[in-house]
Amino acid sequence: MTKVTMTVNGKPVSGEVEGRTLLSQFLREGLGMTGTHIGCDTSQCGACVVHVNGQDVKSCTMFALECEGAEVRTIEGMANADGSLSTIQQAFQDHHGLQCGFCTPGMVMTAAALLEKNPKPSEAEIRDYLEGNICRCTGYHNIVKAIMAASGQDVGAIAAE
């Protein structure tokens, strides 16, 4: 076992891990932060997306020891300081961007990464950026709508399906 130290949602954390311990496993089992979901565990579904040093990554396909000294942000760090939902989270609720909710942590983290790089994405750009996030409930439509709304854009143009 090796000691790993990183910052998660602004808080310094550390733990003993094996070389093969995945970041997703360290977050969930080591730190008890189960907001990061493991869907496929094969880097296809994106439910486990977190930010490492500002970059969106699949935490099931990265070792905890690769995050030594890194700044990690998870879904638990997305709400506002007073506990209210962030703009993106609120938009997912307002536009019914989730049904079962399993993919939502990854969707929100991916959406946040997109909006940091591209504050006013087009519908096509949003759909393209969601390539690595799978939702089996919504058909994506309301997720795209929520991200459009979260970026302050008019969603009237997106027709209902």
Partner 1 sequence: MYAFDFERPTTLDEAVAALGTEEAQALGGGQTLIPTLKQRLAGPAKLVSLTGIAELRGVCIADDGAVCIGGATPHAVVAAEAAAHYPALAALAGNIGDPAVRNRGTIGGSLANNDPSACYPAAALGSGAMIRTNIRDIAADDYFQGMFTTALEEGEIITEVRFPVPQKAAYVKFEQPASRFALTGVFVAKYADGVRVAVTGASEEGVFRWSEAEAALSSDFSAGAIAGLAVDAENMIGDLHGSPEYRAHLVKVLTGRAVTAAG
Provide, rounded to whole angstroms, the least separation between the CB of residue 51 and partner 1. Answer: 9
Q: How far is the CB of 75 from partner 1 (least distance, A)?
A: 15
Among 7, 29, 38, 65, indicate the residue that binds partner 1 (CB under 8 A).
65
C-beta atoms surrounding 56 within 10 Å: 23
DSSP string across 13-61: EEEEE-TT-BHHHIIIIIS--TTS--SSSSSSS-TTEEEETTEEEEGGG
Nearest to 140 by CA among 99, 89, 80, 90: 99
The distance of closest approach from Cβ of residue 89 to partner 1 in the complex, given in angstroms and rounded to an integer, is 19
Q: Within 10 Å of residue 93's Cβ, how many Cβ atoms? A: 11
Question: For partner 1, what does the binding mask look like between residues 18 and 57, x meaning CB under 8 A?
Answer: xxx-x------------------xxx--x--x-----xxx
CB 67 within 8 Å of CB 23: yes
- Phi-psi region for residue 152, left (φ > 0), alpha (ψ -120 to 50) or beta? left
SS3 72: strand
Please give the residues from 97 up to 126 whose contact with partner 1 meets the rule CB under 8 A: 110, 113-114
Distance CA(36)–CA(43), nearest Å, equals 13
Closer CB to partner 1, 75 or 113, in the complex: 113
Q: With contacts defined by CB under 8 A, how many residues of the chain interact with partner 1? A: 27
Choices 5-13, 16-24, 31-39, 89-97 (CB under 8 A): range interacting with partner 1: 16-24
Choose, by CB under 8 A, the member of 5, 14, 16, 66 that binds partner 1: 66
**Binding residues vs partner 1 (CB under 8 A):** 2, 18-20, 22, 41-43, 46, 49, 55-58, 61-63, 65-66, 68, 110, 113-114, 129, 131-133
